[in-house]
Amino acid sequence: MAEYEHLEELTIGLFDRGELGYAQTEDEFIQLKSGRWSPNFFNGRGIMSFSPKLEMPITAQKRLARLTVEGYAHGLDQAKNPLDHMINLPQAVNPIVGAVALLSGRSLLYLRTPEGEKGYGKHSPIEGEYSDGDSVAGIDNVISDGATKKEVTEPIEGAGLELPEFIVLLNREEGGEAALKKRGYDLTSVVGMGLATQILFDAGRIQHQQAEWSFTYIDRYDVPVE
């Protein structure tokens, strides 16, 4: 896969914006849904909002939003499978998928967040125009161990769509890609946590100990893709 040309600027921007962060001490490690204690975190939900209250200038915030959208578009261009549509995986990526679809020229299907019985209106679990057998890429912000991806495959495939691949901005490199591959899905990521950590360390954004915690974490949990 060809590397996104603005990968270094994107990674540093995510850190400076506070969307990608590293623990200062072991007491600040974050417990993930998997139960693992991580020395770093990635959010991505706030990238499309801008505020003068942040230390990052507004112009830089807008630049980061643009780079993020371009990063996803690059990932779609590097997809391993022919694709008819892209589809969001609720909810973290919801604010950005429309911009990605517009920039990349891709058809967007929208997977609704389960709302229960509202008692009014007429809604489909998947919004958009598609036919049985169409191929879609599932778009998400991050992958860790891959467990949560199981929650979204059923409604997508149950609608008659083919889901050969997931596209994520950040691969935390803790076994998720191997888990997906075992279930028959491909993964394309814009950046891996190991490379992101190296970029930030080289740029002086994180200290040696923070980088070592991250590399050790990846070594502990990453699984080779067969």
Domain ranges of the chain: 7-221
Answer yes or no: is pLDDT of 213 > 60: yes
- Distance between CA 224 and CA 41 in Å, rounded? 22
- Residue 148 pLDDT exceeds 90: no
Residue 176 clears pLDDT 70, i.e. is over it: yes
Average of per-residue pLDDT across 115-126? 60
CATH topology of domain 7-221: Rossmann fold (3.40.50)
pLDDT band for position 149 (50/70/90)? confident
The identity of residue 134, as a single letter, is D
Is 164 a residue whose pLDDT tops 60? Answer: yes
Under the banding of pLDDT at 50, 70 and 90, the label for residue 6 is: very high
Annotate the chain with DSSP letters as a single string: -PPPTTHHHHHHHHHHHTSEEE-SSGGG-EE-TTS-EESEEE--TTTT---TTSSS-HHHHHHHHHHHHHHHHHHHHT-SS--SEEEE-TTTTHHHHHHHHHHHT--EEEEPPP----SSS---SEES---TT-EEEEEEEEESSSGGGHHHHHHHHHTT-EEEEEEEEEE--SSHHHHHHHTT-EEEEEEEHHHHHHHHHHTTSS-HHHHHHHHHHHHHH-----
Q: What is the pTM of this model?
A: 0.93
pLDDT at 17 over 50: yes
Stretch 52-68: mean pLDDT: 97
Reported as a pLDDT band with limits 50, 70 and 90, residue 121 is very low
Whether pLDDT at 120 is above 70: no
